[in-house]
Amino acid sequence: GESVGLHLPTLSVQEGDNSIINCAYSNSASDYFIWYKQESGKGPQFIIDIRSNMDKRQGQRVTVLLNKTVKHLSLQIAATQPGDSAVYFCADVRSNDYKLSFGAGTTVTVRA
């Protein structure tokens, strides 16, 4: 079936380095895509989103890239900090009913 998934379940990053978290999706009808961050004991928090008619979008220290040709989504975090340690989820959204489909998540651990 159609789904959104992440390439790797875990990612260990040195503090100060850039992080890249990848996601593959299969639903070509998705209208936009969202990255969420979930810290331990908390609900998912919105980080950044990108619409299907865009290739790149930048936020504060984060950049999302969308490659529709290969159905690939990535989140880049610049100068990773200890506070970036969390589980990151990508999700695709269907515009007709705003249903989100989540990937399984990537656990990012920042090494001091």
Main-chain phi, psi angles of 4, to 5 degrees: -120, 135
What are the residues binding another protein (CB under 8 A)? 9, 32, 34, 41-46, 49, 89, 91, 93, 97-105
Least distance CB 35 / another protein (angstroms)? 12
Least distance CB 46 / another protein (angstroms)? 6
Residue from 103, 89, 18 nearest 47 by CA: 89
Residue from 7, 3, 4 nearest 108 by CA: 7
Q: What does the CA dihedral 31, 32, 33, 38 come to, rounded to 10 degrees?
A: -110
Least distance CB 9 / another protein (angstroms)? 8
Identify which of residues 51 and 111 has a Cβ nearer to another protein in the complex.
51
